[in-house]
Amino acid sequence: MAILATGGAGFIGSHTCLELLNAGYEVVVIDSLVNSSEESLRRVQELTGKTLRFYKGDTRDAALLDTIFTENEIEAVVHFAALKSVPESVKMPLEYYDNNLTGTIELLKAMRRNGCKKIVFSSSATVYGAENKCPFTEDMQTGTTTNPYGTTKLQIERIMTDTAAAEPDWHVVLLRYFNPIGAHASGRIGEAPGYPNNLMPYITQVAVGKREKLTVFGNNYPTPDGTGVRDYIHVVDLAKGHVKAIAFVLDHAGTEIFNLGTGNGTSVLELIHAFEEVTGVTVPYEIGPARAGDVAYSYANADKAKRVLGWQAELDVRQMCRDAWNWQKNNPNGYE
């Protein structure tokens, strides 16, 4: 019996495949490589000494999905595959809705056709919107999303919840990630964006000399130092959370939602300074205007995952900085 990871070659997917293999699961991956490289999977196999099965293709390809379910005994699916750039989603909403929504609907239909109705989904803290107060708890009403990317996450949560309500033999786990950063301790797999939209890869690209300086998006937020506060979570902790979620989804019908965060908030300036301290590298920055759609605070109440899944984050922000830097300096051009 195997776990199918859609988007398994990506940043979070590759780290999760590694933890699943280490936990003894067989792993099958489908990835279009639209935002990743097969090299990440080669390295996952090298690091674990185990093999996984890779299909290059798109989750909108129903025939390919049927082939995968026919050729493998898939017990459950972890659904990472999505386009994830917030600014790109504002420019290309149709492509985002098509890729993320159609890709999910085709996947769910293929799962049902092939008798596999257990799924763990990569959702996001973005579904809490600006209306809710931190720390976010899973029972809060979801908020208003501010970009098409975030809206796809909200809509997919709804599609899966409605499906599980209509057909009680579905097992659905919605994981709301906070801000995943860092990399595997080996420095062999990590986050490899071209142009970085997110804070940590921008910091590491400045540190390695690929960008001149970082712009801090606003310092007038109602936070202690005026910069945005986020719940950064080490990608290895996040990956381990998926192993717990898979174990849970195998024998729990219905829909269950879990925040995967640390419960701690860190400001932009605190993250820059932590990075400088642990690496000894200076990160030049300037204060710029606030970025549209950003909130002052986003951090989790992570109690439910601890109570129900027996999972909690173990690695702190300093370790996240150390590992992000170790990956960046050993792989200045990502997987190229």
- Which residues are identified as catalytic? 149
Closest approach, Cβ 50 to ligand WQD, in A, equals 28
Sketch the per residue contact string, 280 through 309, with ligand WQD: x for CB under 6 A, - otherwise.
Answer: -----------x--x---x-----------
CA distances from 284 to 97, 203, 216, 218, 324 (A): 37, 9, 10, 16, 17
Residue 202 near ligand WQD by CB under 6 A: yes
Which residues are CB-neighbours of 38 under 8 A, at least 6 positions away?
9, 31, 54, 56
Residues in touch with ligand NAD (CB under 6 A): 6-7, 9-13, 30-36, 58-60, 80-84, 99, 103, 122, 124, 177, 179-180
Residue 150 near ligand WQD by CB under 6 A: yes
Closest approach, Cβ 55 to ligand NAD, in A, equals 9
Q: Which does 150 bind (CB under 5 to 8 A by kind): ligand NAD, ligand WQD, none?
A: ligand WQD
DSSP-assigned letter for residue 126: G
Distance in angstroms (rounded) separating the CA atoms of residues 227 and 89: 24
CA distances from 75 to 2, 117, 161 (A): 6, 8, 20
Q: What does the DSSP assignment read for 251-279?
A: T--EEEEEEES-S--EEHHHHHHHHHHHH
Largest CA-CA distance found in the chain, in angstroms, rounded: 55
Residue 124 near ligand WQD by CB under 6 A: yes
C-beta of 129 vs 245, nearer to ligand WQD: 129
Residue 175 near ligand WQD by CB under 6 A: no
Contact assessment for residue 321 and residue 274, using Cβ atoms and an 8 Å cutoff:
yes
Closest approach, Cβ 268 to ligand WQD, in A, equals 5
Q: Considering only CA atoms, which of 95, 106, 135 is closest in space to residue 264?
A: 135
Residue 198 near ligand WQD by CB under 6 A: yes
Distance in angstroms (rounded) separating the CA atoms of residues 193 and 264: 25
Residue 216 near ligand WQD by CB under 6 A: yes
Closest approach, Cβ 120 to ligand WQD, in A, equals 16
| Assigned token pair, 274 | 């932590």
C-beta of 56 vs 277, nearer to ligand NAD: 56
Q: Provide the binding-site residues for ligand WQD, judged by CB under 6 A.
A: 84, 86, 124, 126, 150, 179, 197-199, 202, 214-217, 228, 230, 268, 291, 294, 298
